[in-house]
A and B are shown apart, each in its own frame.
Chain A
Amino acid sequence: MDGVSFSVAPGEIVGVIGPNGSGKTTLFNSILGQIKPTSGRMRFMGEDITGMSPLALSRRGVGRTFQTLQVFGSLSLRDNLIVAAQEFVRGMPSRLFAAPDAGLGAQADAMIALFGLERVAHLPAGSLSYGQQKLADIAMAFMPRPRLVLLDEPCAGVNPGLVDGLRELLLRLNKTQGGSFVVIEHNMDFIMRLCPRVICMVEGKVLAEGAPEAVRSNPAVLEAYLGN
């Protein structure tokens, strides 16, 4: 990446688009401390978070999903959701003596209902279909009620018929939880209808930034990514 600079307001949803290899996931990995940038700084809620570990960032309210499926395969879907938030409940020693669901059962059930996964809630997450695991993956990121969520291709592998529903879900979570989202996605229809602001990256640089329609009709974006 080179000279990438942008900010996200509280509650804002920002889309990041660009061809494969343009640096979108590298951007996420840099923000989340998985890649250390050679220069530049990242700030979250006024604090310099450059190079912080994913653990430290999660404690500050930064969550993410990954491009590939990242559920805990041997745990039930419900347990996946509980483990996604349990580490934010009380101190580590006291969690040994906490209720098995760490007091998060009702919250997990509500999230399962929101994502329409009730039928498979008690099955091992690894045995679910790709689409169900993808939804579980996204639901997990929202369990700790993060202040910033980085969603890496949430539509990838999701049945086209469910994409609209996923967009509605994200909008509802944005409204109810109030966090900010940064969303990487190749599904243009999805991202244009979800994000009031879109950033287009090409070869590690920001090529265009602004309202979805303005970015979509930008001649440079058309040439480098969307085509005519």
Chain B
Amino acid sequence: MKAKLGILVLVLALAAAPLGLKNYGVYLLTLWCVYVMAGMGLNLTVGYAGQMSIGHAAFLGIGAYTAAILIKAGASFWLVTPLAALNCFVVGLVIGFPALRVQHHYLAFATLGFNMLVYLFFRNEEWLTGGTFGISGIQRPAFFGFSLDAPLPFFYFTLLSTILLAAVLWWIIRSPWGRAFAALRDNPIRAESLGVNIMAYTLLAFAIGAAFAGIAGAYFAALVQFIEPGPFHLVTSLMMLLMVIVGGSGRFFGPMLGAAIVILLPEWLRVLKDWYLVMFGLAVVAMMIWLPGGLLSIPERLRFSK
């Protein structure tokens, strides 16, 4: 009951958050929603299933380009979003295969290589992606004739979609699949001896995580209305991994808090002028040293320290 009330308060607070903000503030909140969607997927792959990935921005990019190309060709946002998810799900399945052979930093480098490959594809295959010129004029959707083009309606639409996607993730992790993902993360050898199909669950962890990023990509394309390869570089993958770790890897609300820190904190620190990125960097380093379990591990740590 307490948890439900807390979630209701959080949703109401988010709904009230853009009121009184200028367009840039609403844009940042919508961008936060987009990264929460992608971060939830990465949290499933990294936090719940224990796989390493520093190529998640590639899936965000595949989703964004799938949506942008198809919207420009006249397809509806409502059709292209599931297609972006499906596209990423399939690519995610393929990218899961290295995880069946290698783990930890080897897997990190395999996913890093994948990110670079996808980035180069976006940059060089001009006939499809527009190369460095990108794709512009991406239309935002309408909902039963109601235009979502203005920043505020598009924010509420993205927020609602984020909540729905969070509900899907909640469903997955509280189902027997969620327990199997945790078993895979904690002890794959024991898991296999108990009938857990570690190959299937490893591939699914990557594929579902990628599908979440694909959906986020479609919303990103509609948000910025112009995409080019830059936002899908390795740096974004590292930033998304940072969101998951800073918030609390393997904790449901981890990516939400992490995305808020990574997206919004630099903006709030702008009062420090030239020093804001330095302070942000120091805050991240301090957090990694004293809070390796992420910000959401604080209550647990306090409980144990008593």
Contacts and interface: CB of A to CB of B under 8 A. Distances in A.
B190 A70 contact: yes
A140 B176 CA distance: 16
Interface residues of B, number: 25
Nearest to A61: B195
Question: Interface centre among B191, B197, B198, by most A CB within 10 Å?
Answer: B191
B176 A100 contact: yes
B270 interface: no
A46 to B, nearest CB: 21
Interface string B168-196: 00011011110110110111011111111
A87 B197 contact: yes
Interface in A13-60: 32, 53-55, 58-59
A64 B193 contact: yes
A58 B192 contact: yes
Contacts of B250: 74
Contacts of A174: none
A212 interface: no
Interface in A69-88: 70-75, 79, 82-88
B200 interface: yes
A140 B196 CA distance: 13
Interface residues of A, number: 34
Contact of B183 (A54, A63, A83): A83
Contacts of B195: 55, 58-59, 87-88, 144
Interface string B101-114: 00000000000000
A220 interface: no
Contacts of A167: none
B176 A72 contact: no
Nearest to B190: A70
A87 B180 contact: yes
Given A70-B190, A72-B182, A74-B182, A55 B197 contact: yes
Contact of B175 (A71, A74, A75, A97): A97
A95 interface: yes
A86 B179 contact: yes
A130 to B, nearest CB: 16
B186 A86 contact: no
Contact of B182 (A53, A55, A75, A144): A75
A86 B176 contact: yes
Contact of A70 (B172, B174, B187, B196): B187
Given A74-B250, A83-B183, A95 B176 contact: yes
B197 A92 contact: yes
A92 B183 CA distance: 15
Contact of A54 (B185, B187, B193): B193
B175 A95 contact: yes
B182 A92 contact: no
B198 A55 contact: yes
Contacts of B187: 70-73
A102 B192 contact: no
A115 interface: no
Contacts of B176: 82-83, 86, 89, 95-96, 98, 100, 102
Nearest to B196: A87
Given A82-B179, A96-B177, A102-B176, A74 B185 contact: yes
A62 B196 CA distance: 13
Contacts of A84: 194
Contact of B194 (A74, A83, A96, A100): A83
Nearest to A98: B176
Contacts of A64: 193
A84 B171 CA distance: 20
Contact of A75 (B171, B172, B183, B198): B183
A49 to B, nearest CB: 14
A83 B192 contact: no
Contacts of A100: 174-176
Interface of B: 171-172, 174-177, 179-180, 182-183, 185-187, 189-198, 200, 250
29 contacts: A32-B193, A54-B192, A54-B193, A55-B192, A55-B195, A58-B193, A63-B194, A64-B193, A70-B190, A72-B182, A72-B187, A72-B190, A75-B183, A75-B186, A82-B179, A83-B179, A83-B180, A83-B194, A85-B194, A86-B180, A87-B194, A87-B196, A97-B175, A98-B175, A100-B174, A100-B175, A102-B176, A143-B194, A144-B194
Given A87-B180, A92-B200, 18 more contacts: A32-B193, A54-B189, A55-B196, A59-B195, A63-B193, A64-B193, A72-B182, A72-B186, A72-B187, A72-B191, A75-B186, A83-B180, A84-B194, A86-B179, A87-B197, A96-B176, A98-B176, A144-B195
List the 10 shortest-distance A-B pairs measured between CB atoms, nearest first.
A87-B195, A72-B186, A70-B190, A58-B195, A95-B176, A102-B176, A86-B176, A83-B179, A54-B193, A54-B192
